Structure formats: C-alpha cells, structure tokens
Chain A
Amino acid sequence: MDQALSNNIVLNVSNLKKSFGDFHILAGADLDLKEKQNIVILGHSGTGKSVLFKCIVRLIEPDSGGINVLGQDILALEDEKLTELRIKIGYVFQGGALYDSMSVRSNLEFPLKYTKGAKRTQAELNELVEEALVNVGLIESIDKMPSELSGGMMKRIGLARTLIQKPNILLYDEPTTGLDPVTSGEISELILKIQEEYNTSSLIISHDLKCIEITANQVNVLKEGKFTASGTLDEMKHHEDPFVNSFFK
C-alpha cells in the first residue's frame, strides 16, 4: 500500500503500563496510529497484545500511561462520554463474541437499538443490517443462530456487527487466525476495503503473513511489554534484530 498518509494522529498510546500481580504485561508501550493507517501488531502469544486493545477501550484499566483517542483522553472520561467515544472505536473480538441467545439479525440490530439515543425505525434497521451482511458476504445467514455458524462465519458476522456502528478506528484481534487460506484472504481484503471505503484507521493483531501483506502500512513488534521495532513489512523482514525477522520465517 502506498497511499499518502496524513499526519493526523487518531490514536496515541504513551508509556502504557499494566501488570497482573507480579506479571508485568505492558511495560511502557508507545504507539501512534494515523488517519487511514493500518498498523499490524506482531508479538508472541501472551505478550499482551489483547491486553493492549482492552486498555485502549478501557475494558482493562491500565496502571499508568496515557491513551488519547480522537483527541480525547479516554482514561479521564466518565460514563456517558466514555460510551460516546467507545462507539467510535470498533472492536473485532478474537472469537467473534456473538450473542449466542440471539439470531444473526438481532446480533446486528443490538448495538443500533440499545445504545443511548438510538432511535431508528424497523425499516431503517433492516436496511442497515442487510447492507452490513452483504458487505461480509453472509446475507443468507441473516436468520441463523450463532450456534449454526462456522468459526469463520462467526468472525465475519462479528466484523459486520462492529462495522454497523460506523466506527472511525478499528481494533482487529487476530481476524484471520484459525481460518482457511481462502477465507483468511477474503477477510484481509475486506479489512482493506473497509479502510478505503470508510476512511478508517486500524490496529490489527495478526501473525498471518498474507493478512499482513494485504492490510499493513506499518508493522509494530511488541516484545516484553514494549514496542521495540516498527516499519514497513519489507523493512521488518530485513530487520537486523533476529527476534523481529523471526516472525517472517
């Protein structure tokens, strides 16, 4: 990808620290995400990639450090303001996190119906839901229950449910892990398409080289709780640190 990036920073993480008991998971992580940028985050299992995402939306409270999202200090926000800002951040969970007591349709309607101040007619809801499902290629599953879907389908529905709120920033937690190469390629293309169509910025946790090739403008490597290297995919492949280029072998 070679499109010009603006210098507007939409998400800034500075010196972020988080420990669980004696385990120091994040130890001063710094990150800047610019408008329309897709950053892929690489790191070994258990280094705290998901914890970083959860800190960004404050599902987990960090111990110290700063997080600025769209110009607002998210760590200082209270209930309502926090909710408003969270709606602008789309979080695509590792397993899809579909509400298993609801059909696909209700899953997608849910964030539209029950967020504060949301007042849409059923016709408007139907239209938005159908559009989102067409986007991920699963319109025929609209009346299925999550238990009737495959893992890959769940991930795509999860993605559709996130996109329906039209977020500005997207956090993808391993969007292609565990999928076959074809589906995983489709999802990667979808991530790119979304970015181009809606001008979103994304952080993508992924080890999938194909996904990285398709989506990334930049790759950041998380090691021992800090980002130790960043650059384009090519730069990372030829990085002098063996730890960094070990991801591409």
Chain B
Amino acid sequence: MTKSSKLKDAIADFLLGIGDMGAFISSIFKSFLRHGVNFQEFSRQCYRIGNQSLPLISITGFILGLVLTLQSGPTLAKFGAESMLPGMVSLSIIREIGPVIVALIVAGKVGSGIGAELASMRVTEQLDAMEVSGTNPISFVVTTRVLAVSFMLPLLVLYADAFSLLGSYISASTQYNISLETFFHKAFDVIHYKDLFPTTIKTFFFGLSIGIIGSYQGYFAKRGTEGVGEAANSAVVKASISIFIIDLIVVNITQLLT
C-alpha cells in the first residue's frame, strides 16, 4: 500500500469514527428522552464509581495540596507575598488542577472499567440478549453509566478540592504558622461564583465524555477477549485526550466571557 493511500484510509477511518460516535451519542439522548433513566441502576453505578475512586482521590487530592503549597511557598516568600499563599493555592486547585487531575483518575479507573465491562457484555452476547428480549441496552446499560459519571465527577472534584485544601493548610501552617481560620478565610476569599460555575460545568462535561467514550469503546468492541482489553485501553487514552481538549475549550470560552 502506498503512503498516500494509507493516509487516505486513516483519514476516512477517523471521519467514519466521528460519524459513528455522533450516531451513538444521539441514540443515548433519544433513549434518555424517551425512556428516562432507570433510577435503581443509576444509583448502583453512582455507588460503584464512588467506591472505586474515593480512596485514590482522597490521597491524590491531599498530596496535591501539600506539594503545591510546599513548592509555591518559597517563591511567594521571595516577594514577601506569603499571605497570598492560601488564595493562590485554592484558586489554582479549584479552578484548574483539581478538576483535571480527578477527571484523569476517573478516566483511568471508571472509564476503563466501563469500557471493559461493556466489551465483555458484548463478547458474551449479553447486549444482544437484552436487545432481542425487547429491553433497550442503550437505555439500561449505557445511559445509566454515562449519567452516573457525569453526576459523580463534579462531586468527586469538590471532595478532592476539600482534601487538597486540607493538605495545603497542613503544609502552610507548619511552614508559615498560618492559623486554620486565617488560612480558610484567605483561601475562600478569592473564590467567586464566577469561578465555581464554569468549573462545575466543565467537570460535568469531563464526566460526560468519560462515560460516553468508555461506553462507546465497550459497546462496539471487537469480538473475542482481545476486544475487552483493547476497549479498556482505548477508553482511557481517548477519554484523557478529550479531557484536555474540553479543558482547552472551556478555558478559552471563560476567558472570552470575562
């Protein structure tokens, strides 16, 4: 095969992939509008997501706050601006680092889990069995998972933010003797609604893309055990890339608006 025809094939595959994904997303929306969501399954998925990721997110959040404070403290001190430390740390964690890190962790744990689970349901014909028995697998399996990730991710981010601030406070108080009250007063002083709102919307979209990409990779997995591993793997890679792309878009939009 010549180089140019390989390139053409790759481009054609890419475009077809976008078309398939579009059709998949529209079938999720359609089934959501038509059938709503199975609340029991939705709650079960939410519980699983929390259960899977809370320990890791707590530790990561805590260490993130600790390290960020340790590192930025001396720099700020050079300019005599130690008092700005809590504000700077909380702003960067809540606005940017927290959502992205937590989303990446969830993409790794939950996104790959959804990919693998759906792929194995595909391989063992469970999805086919649902379809022929007259139950809609998109509605029962996919919509519930996509909504569960979208709903849980903003909560997980808030939870991680709290642990980060705790880590940051411990670090700041040991280095600069800042009291708990002063620390949190200063940390929250810089946070406005206009920071929280776009961030929460952003994390919702992170969740949506993790759920959709994970489900898509699993739902259309290749037959055979190989397909399961492949689905899990590409779910993580593609979801992570989509997180950075969404982040870039949202940052640009918020800067245009403010």
CB proximity of A171 to chain B, nearest CB, Å: 9
Q: Would A93 and B128 count as touching, CB distance under 8 A?
A: yes
Chain A residues with CB under 8 Å of B120's CB are: 100
A91 and B121 CA atoms in complex are apart in Å by 16
CB proximity of A92 to chain B, nearest CB, Å: 9
- B interface majority secondary structure: helix
Chain A residues with CB under 8 Å of B121's CB are: 99-100
Chain A residues with CB under 8 Å of B80's CB are: none
Report the interface size class on chain B. 10 to 19
Knowing A114-B38, A114-B140, the reply to whether A165 touches B133 (Cβ < 8 A) is yes
Partner of A99, one of B126, B131, B132: B126
Chain A residues with CB under 8 Å of B135's CB are: 110-111, 114-115
A54 and B132 CA atoms in complex are apart in Å by 9
The answer to the question of B134 belonging to the interface, with a C-beta cut-off of 8 Å to chain A, is yes
A89 and B134 CA atoms in complex are apart in Å by 10
Q: Would B128 and A86 count as touching, CB distance under 8 A?
A: no
A11 and B125 CA atoms in complex are apart in Å by 23
Q: Would A86 and B134 count as touching, CB distance under 8 A?
A: yes
A84 and B132 CA atoms in complex are apart in Å by 10
Q: In chain B between 86 and 138, which residues have their CB closer than 8 angstroms to a CB of chain A?
A: 120-121, 124-126, 128-135
A7 and B124 CA atoms in complex are apart in Å by 37
A24 and B19 CA atoms in complex are apart in Å by 26
The answer to the question of A12 belonging to the interface, with a C-beta cut-off of 8 Å to chain B, is no
Partner of B128, one of A59, A83, A84: A59
Count of A-B contacts judged by CB separation below 8 Å: 57
Q: Would A95 and B133 count as touching, CB distance under 8 A?
A: no
Q: Would B126 and A111 count as touching, CB distance under 8 A?
A: no
A116 and B133 CA atoms in complex are apart in Å by 11
Chain B residues with CB under 8 Å of A177's CB are: none
The answer to the question of A27 belonging to the interface, with a C-beta cut-off of 8 Å to chain B, is no
Q: Would A100 and B129 count as touching, CB distance under 8 A?
A: no
Q: Would B124 and A87 count as touching, CB distance under 8 A?
A: no
Q: Would B132 and A89 count as touching, CB distance under 8 A?
A: yes
A229 and B108 CA atoms in complex are apart in Å by 54
Per-position 1/0 for A55-71, Cβ under 8 A of B: 00101000000000000
Chain A residues with CB under 8 Å of B124's CB are: 95, 97, 100
Q: Would A93 and B133 count as touching, CB distance under 8 A?
A: no
Q: Would A115 and B132 count as touching, CB distance under 8 A?
A: no
Partner of A93, one of B38, B129, B140: B129
A111 and B135 CA atoms in complex are apart in Å by 7
Can you list 16 contacts pairing A with B, beta carbon distance less than 8 Å? A54-B128, A57-B132, A59-B132, A83-B134, A86-B131, A86-B133, A95-B125, A99-B126, A99-B129, A111-B134, A114-B140, A115-B133, A161-B129, A161-B133, A162-B133, A165-B134
Q: Which residues of B contact A (CB under 8 A)?
A: 38, 120-121, 124-126, 128-135, 140
Apart from A93-B128, A99-B121, A114-B135: 9 A-B pairs, beta carbons within 8 A: A99-B130, A100-B121, A111-B133, A111-B135, A115-B133, A116-B134, A158-B129, A161-B133, A162-B133
